[in-house]
Amino acid sequence: MVRKTAATGTTLDDDLALLTETLEEVLKSSGDPADQKYLALKSKAEAALHDVKSRVSSASDSTYYRAKEVAYRADDFVHDKPWQGVGVGAAVGLVLGLLLRR
């Protein structure tokens, strides 16, 4: 889920973290606590912030568990067929070496 943006070079996670921090600061420091419109807007913003945080967290967890599952499958493959694992590793190393040489 981490992608670099073209213009700034920052990651999407960094942008979301900055947005979250900024919104939390705004919610803590702005508005008249006695104003009903402010209170309604604040509660709506807090709910939206909580929703975004939970969605980002669940997406991050999902990506982590999928990557972990792929790593376990690769480990099982190498244990079951060690010579094929050596061959795949050598091929990947050769391709990366050729790409990095250029």
pLDDT tens-digit series, residues 41-88: 777 777 777 777 777 777 778 888 889 999 999 888 888 988 998 998
The tokens describing 38, both together, are 């402010």
**pTM (whole model) above 0.75:** no
Q: Which candidate, 52, 5, 46, places its Cα nearest to that of 24?
A: 46
| More confident: 3 or 65 | 65
Q: For residues 59 and 1, is the Cβ–Cβ distance under 8 A? A: yes
User: What is each CA distance from 73 to 30, 32, 66, 68, in whole angstroms?
Assistant: 51, 56, 11, 9
